[in-house]
Amino acid sequence: MTIGVRHDDLRKRNRAMVIAAVRRSGQPSRTEIASATELSHSTISAISSDLINEGILAEAKSEATATKRGRPQVGLCLNPDAGVVLAIVLSLNSLSATMIDYSGTAIAQDISRPATLSMGKAELIEVVLAAARRLIERPDLAEKRLLRIALGIQGITDSDARRLMWTPITPEGDIDFADALEEAFGIPVTVQNDCNMIAVALRNRAPERYSDNFIAVLLSNGIGMGLVLRGELFTGSHSSGGEFGHMIHMPDGALCRCGRLGCIEAYAGNYAIFRHARGEGERAKPAADIDDATMLALAAAARDHEGRERDAFHKAGEAIGFGLGSLFALIDPAPVAIVGLGASAFDIIEPSIREAIAKTAGGQHNAAISFDLEPDEAPLIREGCARQALTFVDQEIFAPGQAMQALAGREVA
Amino acid sequence: MTIGVRHDDLRKRNRAMVIAAVRRSGQPSRTEIASATELSHSTISAISSDLINEGILAEAKSEATATKRGRPQVGLCLNPDAGVVLAIVLSLNSLSATMIDYSGTAIAQDISRPATLSMGKAELIEVVLAAARRLIERPDLAEKRLLRIALGIQGITDSDARRLMWTPITPEGDIDFADALEEAFGIPVTVQNDCNMIAVALRNRAPERYSDNFIAVLLSNGIGMGLVLRGELFTGSHSSGGEFGHMIHMPDGALCRCGRLGCIEAYAGNYAIFRHARGEGERAKPAADIDDATMLALAAAARDHEGRERDAFHKAGEAIGFGLGSLFALIDPAPVAIVGLGASAFDIIEPSIREAIAKTAGGQHNAAISFDLEPDEAPLIREGCARQALTFVDQEIFAPGQAMQALAGREVA
DNA sequence: TTATTTTTTTCGAGGCTCGAAAAAAAGAGC
DNA sequence: GCTCTTTTTTTCGAGCCTCGAAAAAAATAA
pLDDT digits (tens, 9 = 90+) for B67-91: 788 888 999 999 999 999 999 999 9
pLDDT value, residue A367: 83
Domain shared by A386 and A346, yes or no: no
* Any strand C atom closer than 7 Å to B42 CB: yes
A156-157 and A164-166: which strand pairing? antiparallel
Specify if B48 maps to a domain. yes
Whether residue A29 has pLDDT greater than 80:
yes
pLDDT value, residue A412: 28
Beta strands in A206-335 (DSSP E): 214-219, 223-229, 232-233
Domain shared by A229 and A358, yes or no: yes
We report the CATH number of the domain holding residue A141 as 3.30.420.40
Q: Taking the C-alpha atoms of A345, A284, A327 and A350 in order, what is their torsion angle to the nearest 10 degrees?
A: 20
A6 contacts in chain B (CB < 8 Å) = 38-39
Domain shared by A266 and A326, yes or no: yes
pLDDT digits (tens, 9 = 90+) for B177-219: 999 999 999 999 999 999 999 999 999 999 999 989 999 999 9
Buried/exposed code over A175-185 (b: 16+ C-beta within 10 A; e: otherwise): bebbebbeebb
Q: For strand C, which nucleotides have at least one atom less than 7 Å from a protein CB? A: 4-12, 14-21, 23-28
Name the pLDDT band for A63 (thresholds 50, 70, 90). low
pLDDT value, residue B354: 96
pLDDT value, residue A65: 60
Return the amino acid letter for A26.
G
Domain shared by A231 and A353, yes or no: yes
What interhelical angle do B7-25 and B30-37 show, nearest 10?
Answer: 120
- The domain boundary residue, chosen from B78, B94, B120: B78
Specify if B215 maps to a domain. no
* Residue partners of A247: CB distance under 8 A and separation at least 6: A263, A264, A323, A326, A327, B326, B329, B330, B361
Specify if B408 maps to a domain. no
Whether residue B358 has pLDDT greater than 70:
yes
Domain shared by A86 and A181, yes or no: yes
| CB-based contact A234:A246 (threshold 8 Å) | no
d(CA A217, CA A224) in angstroms, rounded, equals 6
Domain shared by B29 and B61, yes or no: yes
Overall number of domains in chain B: 3
* Number of alpha carbons in the 13 Å side-chain half-sphere of residue B69: 0
| CB-based contact A246:B360 (threshold 8 Å) | yes
d(CA B190, CA B157) in angstroms, rounded, equals 10
> Which of B183-187, B237-241, B276-280 has the least mean pLDDT?
B237-241
d(CA A204, CA A380) in angstroms, rounded, equals 10
Domain shared by B285 and B339, yes or no: yes
At residue A93, φ and ψ (nearest 5 deg) are: 55, 30
Specify if B406 maps to a domain. no
Identify the helix (H) or strand (E) that includes residue A328. Answer: helix A308-331
Specify if A332 maps to a domain. yes
Taking only residues 200 to 229 of chain A, the set having a beta carbon closer than 8 angstroms to any beta carbon of chain B reads 212-213, 229
d(CA B352, CA B320) in angstroms, rounded, equals 9
Whether residue A115 has pLDDT greater than 80:
yes
A332 contacts in chain B (CB < 8 Å) = 159, 236-239, 241
pLDDT digits (tens, 9 = 90+) for B303-315: 999 999 999 999 9
Domain shared by A399 and A341, yes or no: no
Average pLDDT, chain A: 92
Name the pLDDT band for B404 (thresholds 50, 70, 90). very low
Q: What percent of chain B has pLDDT over 90?
A: 86
| CB-based contact A96:A378 (threshold 8 Å) | yes
pLDDT value, residue B64: 60
Specify if A274 maps to a domain. yes
pLDDT value, residue B407: 35
Per-residue pLDDT averaged across B339-359, rounded? Answer: 96
Domain shared by A54 and A87, yes or no: no
Spatial distance from the CA of A40 to the C1' of C21 (Å): 15
Specify if B216 maps to a domain. no
Domain shared by A248 and A345, yes or no: yes
Specify if B207 maps to a domain. no
* Any strand C atom closer than 7 Å to B71 CB: yes
Domain shared by B372 and B225, yes or no: yes
Name the pLDDT band for A407 (thresholds 50, 70, 90). very low
* Any strand C atom closer than 7 Å to A302 CB: no
* Any strand D atom closer than 7 Å to B14 CB: yes
We report the CATH number of the domain holding residue B19 as 1.10.10.10
For residue A353, the enclosing domain spans: 221-376
Long-range contacts, B402-407 (Cβ 8 Å, 24+)? B402/B8, B402/B11, B402/B12, B405/B12
